[in-house]
Amino acid sequence: MSIRRVLLLIKPFTRPNHPHQFLGNWDDRCRVHKDTINLFGGDGTLLQASHFMDDKIPVMGVNSDPTQDIEVEEKIGEFDATRSTGYLCAATGRNFEQVLDEVLEGNKTPSELTRILIRVNDLPLSTYPLNDVLIAHPCPAAVSSFSFQLKKDLENSSALVHCRSSGLRICTAAGSTAAMLSAGGYPMPILSRDLHYMVREPIHPGMFSHLMHGSISPDQSIHIVWKSVEGMIYIDGCHVFHPIQYGSNVEISAKAPVLKVFLPSHLVS
């Protein structure tokens, strides 16, 4: 029998200061959550781990949030009882052993999720976003200037679009249900190789309105020229970032190594 290695990731969890009327409920959630994270992490942990993974070793997320849908409905009027989504998590603390057995016995096959390749002035960044990229001012509420166009090869490019806006977001299929969806985007099939881009709050887009929001096929890339003094590339949230400056050229495509993930059955059925 061959030896299999399993990577277990633990995330911290602290108890906030909530009003006394639901501390009993919260204490129960804390207890079950802590029991689970003694072994596992969830979507956020998987997202962070993906930054250190190549395309060879598959990973599996475990949703450690014990909150049930019925509890959310009952308690949402008293406090924010919304649960961790666990969108990419194939297991919970309750069924982890069963799912792990299926993995080790070869009865579950990992899926290949698209990640993003970022090049700044022709040099690739070492981190491959799994969810999304936001290119914006270090203060994302500030207005920035930039140009962009889609390119397939030297002879197939879209119009060059000049923008003043609060930034540009590009997401993968896995990230299409996150910040992009909240901003008015649309969910993509989880195994899609396309990317999805959206100019945030464009100012007077005029004749380029139809290019403010669209898809980037696997054989295309989006090329951005930054035309503000300061800029930042935010990767999968605010914790990983790369500074850019006036004149920086940024190329984004789906040509990064994929991430192999064991996904929930309903996502791949």
What is the rounded average pLDDT for all residues in the chain?
82
- For the cut 80, the answer to whether the pLDDT of residue 265 exceeds it is yes
Give the pLDDT confidence score for residue 156 in this predicted structure: 76
Rounded to whole angstroms, what are the CA distances from 166 to 111, 134, 203, 210, 261? 34, 10, 9, 18, 33
- Looking at per-residue confidence, does 25 or 177 come out higher? 177
In the block, residue with structure tokens 């799912």: 99
Q: What is the DSSP letter of 113?
A: E
Question: Residue 214: pLDDT above 80?
Answer: yes
Burial of 77 (0-12, 13-18, 19+ CB in 10 A): exposed
- Rounded percentage of the chain residues whose pLDDT exceeds 90: 50
**Spatial contact of 205 and 146, defined as CB atoms under 8 Å apart:** no
Q: Mean per-residue pLDDT for 205-221?
A: 93
pLDDT of amino acid 193? 97
CA neighbor of 262 nearest in space, from 69, 133, 126, 105: 105
Q: Quick one: pLDDT at residue 171? A: 97
Predicted confidence (pLDDT) at residue 79 exceeds the cutoff of 60: no
- How distant, in Å, are the alpha carbons of 13, 15, 73, 231 from that of 19? 18, 12, 19, 40
pTM for this predicted structure: 0.81
Phi–psi pair at 118, nearest 5 degrees:
-115, 130
pLDDT confidence band for 233 (50 / 70 / 90): very high
pLDDT exceeds 50 at position 22: no
What does the radius of gyration of the chain's CA atoms come to, in whole angstroms?
21
Mean pLDDT of 215-230: 96
Cα distance between residue 170 and residue 216, in whole Å: 9
Beta strands of the chain (E only): which ranges?
A: 59-63, 89-92, 111-113, 117-120, 123-124, 132-136, 144-153, 156-157, 161-165, 167-171, 195-200, 213-216, 221-226, 230-235, 240-245, 249-253, 259-262
Q: Residue 222, class by beta-carbon neighbours within 10 Å (0-12 exposed, 13-18 middle, 19+ buried)?
A: buried
Distance between CA 256 and CA 224 in Å, rounded? 18
Please give the pLDDT value at position 39.
43
What per-residue confidence (pLDDT) applies to 141?
A: 85
| Model confidence pLDDT, tens digit, residues 105-122 | 889 999 999 999 999 999
Q: What letter would DSSP give residue 210?
A: G
pLDDT digits (tens, 9 = 90+) for 24-71: 454 555 555 454 444 444 567 788 889 999 999 898 888 776 555 565
